[in-house]
Amino acid sequence: MKQIVKELSMFIEKDGQRFIKEGKALIQTKRVEIKEGKQIEEEVFYNPAQIINRDLTVLTIDTFSENRQPITILDALSASGLRSVRFAQEIQNIKEIYANDLSLASLALIEENIKLNEISNVKIYNMDANKLMKEDIKFDVIDLDPYGTVCPFLDSAIHACDDSLLCITCTDSRVLCGPDTQKCFAQYGTARTKMNCFAENGLRTLLYTISQAAGRLGKAIKPLISFYGEFYLRVFVHVIKDKKETHKLFSQIGNLFFCQSCQSFHVYPYGQKEEKSYKINKKPIPSKCEVCGSLFKINGPVWIDEINNIEFVKKMLTNLETKHTHFQTFDQIIGKLTGIINQHEVSSNPYTYNMTYLASNLKCSNISKKEIYAGFQSLGYKIAQCYLQVDLYKTNAPNQAIYDIIKTWKKIKYGDNYLKNIQENSPAYTILTSEIQYKPDFTFKPTFNSAKMFYPNLEGFGPKSKAIQRKIIELEGEQAIKKQKID
């Protein structure tokens, strides 16, 4: 097995220029030219922390392209052209690649990087991405990796998709996962509430927004794989024009009724299937939490269907181990893919539980992973560790069963001190003094698949500021004096 990351990226100095080796590509992100007594430096955005994003993109597109005619890819916001170069060199089934960027600095670098890598099937465009996607061209793959939110590009991208793979990055994790809930509602149309499983909630918010853009154009989406990278979210969705699938959207969107006192929740779809069509959901909406009696907060609308296609992920894993062993983030990706596959039995259950938080809510120490699995499996329920956040678990057990497992464990461990430091009339007191309906057996021998899904962040990890696109330096003798910066 390789090291987690061979290097954050390999930097090579040649003829006074600095090159970056990533995947099978060799590129430069900075271009220096002496012209009319001036030194012109042009630089474009490059973030080495997103190597896993680009490795994952190459793998996903390569898997999607199997058993298809040679594909056409749009790299809509190309910057240095790194993605386009990697696509050309690491994916075989490609007809042509459109590398587009509005920046003239990017245009010059894309041309030089294509020549540097001796690539012939890349077309370079210098257009507004939205205008290009509104042209009469249907792409097999569109890759959107903007600085911030993808929302300004969504409608145009869906327009250009027809049985296509849409690859989307959003780096506004503060909006999708963090405290900026007002902006989330304004941009994504979801009223978010604070919860432990913020990464999955962010991905479901993003998928909801994409599904609505698709639905307006009579199209539907099928998520293939969803990924969270701490400061960004990445989703890969198959966009199709299918009337039946569009109608199905009614049952794929819903609200999450969430209890902030005990973290219990109910998922409520807007629609449900009745015979051959989908009708509005007529089931009663829960008024309060059945576990602790507190009022629910509404989180939604969100995507409540699956966020990964398990069969597609299995194909990705096979391709990774047979065709892409050169990836610098090989171990990280194999861990994430294995984690997704390991939770296949509960993948249809939206959202997850933080068992550490639930235990602390009842003022008891952490329950070991072995005991957690024993408790759930002894009751006949499935459970798997979430691949998105380290302390979270996905299960098909009801809220009451989850707390009964913790209550039973606390009674065994704490005995007469079971209610010590628990304030009367608090949610914790209500939970601990209620009757235990589900009685787990912690001597049960559990089974679980393990995969190393989480690694420490490397040096330099995190979002980067936008690069200065052009810098002009007037040369006076041997001294170079900075004259101006042009964004």
The span from the CA of 55 to the CA of 334, in Å, is 11
Taking residues 39-48, what's their average pLDDT? 70
DSSP state of 421: T
Contacts of 111 (CB under 8 A, 6+ apart): 124
Q: What burial class does residue 328 get, using C-beta atoms within 10 Å of its C-beta: 0-12 exposed, 13-18 middle, 19+ buried? A: buried
**pLDDT value, residue 37:** 67
> Of 244, 154, 172, which is closest to residue 208 (Cα–Cα)?
154
Q: Is 337 in contact with 331 (CB distance < 8 Å)?
A: no
Among 440-454, 456-470, 473-487, the minimum mean pLDDT is found in: 473-487
Which residue type occupies 243? K
The span from the CA of 279 to the CA of 275, in Å, is 10
DSSP state of 300: E
The span from the CA of 329 to the CA of 323, in Å, is 14
**pLDDT value, residue 485:** 37
Rg of the chain, C-alpha, whole Å = 25
Strand partners, 472: 40, 484
Residue the block writes with tokens 């678990």: 393
**pLDDT value, residue 6:** 43
Contacts of 316 (CB under 8 A, 6+ apart): 59, 60, 63, 225, 337
**pLDDT value, residue 378:** 98
The span from the CA of 471 to the CA of 407, in Å, is 64
Residue the block writes with tokens 């939770």: 343
Q: Taking all residues of the chain, what is their mean pLDDT, rounded to a whole number?
A: 90
Strand partners, 26: 21
When pLDDT is cut at 50, 70 and 90, the band that residue 467 belongs to is low
The span from the CA of 178 to the CA of 184, in Å, is 9
Strand partners, 170: 233
**E strand or H helix at 372:** helix 369-378
Residues 72-124 pLDDT 10s: 999 999 999 999 999 999 999 999 999 999 988 889 889 999 999 999 999 99
Residues 221-257 as b or e (16 or more Cβ within 10 Å = b): bebbbbbbbebbbbbbbbbbeeeebbbebbbbbbbbb
**pLDDT value, residue 450:** 79
Which structure tokens are listed for 44?
Answer: 């474009």
The span from the CA of 268 to the CA of 251, in Å, is 9
Contacts of 209 (CB under 8 A, 6+ apart): 151, 154, 187, 188, 189, 190
The span from the CA of 56 to the CA of 229, in Å, is 12
Give Cα 378 distance to the centre of its chain.
33
Contacts of 441 (CB under 8 A, 6+ apart): 374, 375, 378
Contacts 24+ apart (CB under 8 A), 439-443: 439/379, 439/404, 439/408, 440/374, 440/375, 440/376, 440/378, 440/379, 440/404, 440/405, 440/408, 440/409, 441/374, 441/375, 441/378, 442/371, 442/374, 442/375, 442/378, 442/408, 442/409, 442/412, 443/374
Residues 373-388 pLDDT 10s: 999 999 999 999 999 9
**E strand or H helix at 476:** strand 470-476
What three-state secondary structure class fits 161? Answer: strand
Q: Is 176 in contact with 188 (CB distance < 8 Å)?
A: yes
Contacts of 377 (CB under 8 A, 6+ apart): 383, 444, 446, 447
**pLDDT value, residue 35:** 64
When pLDDT is cut at 50, 70 and 90, the band that residue 407 belongs to is very high
When pLDDT is cut at 50, 70 and 90, the band that residue 13 belongs to is confident
When pLDDT is cut at 50, 70 and 90, the band that residue 410 belongs to is very high
End-to-end CA distance of the chain: 44
> Of 444, 452, 461, 466, which is closest to residue 385 (Cα–Cα)?
452
Q: Is 30 in contact with 18 (CB distance < 8 Å)?
A: yes
Greater pLDDT, 308 or 487: 308
**pLDDT value, residue 461:** 57
Q: What burial class does residue 157 get, using C-beta atoms within 10 Å of its C-beta: 0-12 exposed, 13-18 middle, 19+ buried? A: buried
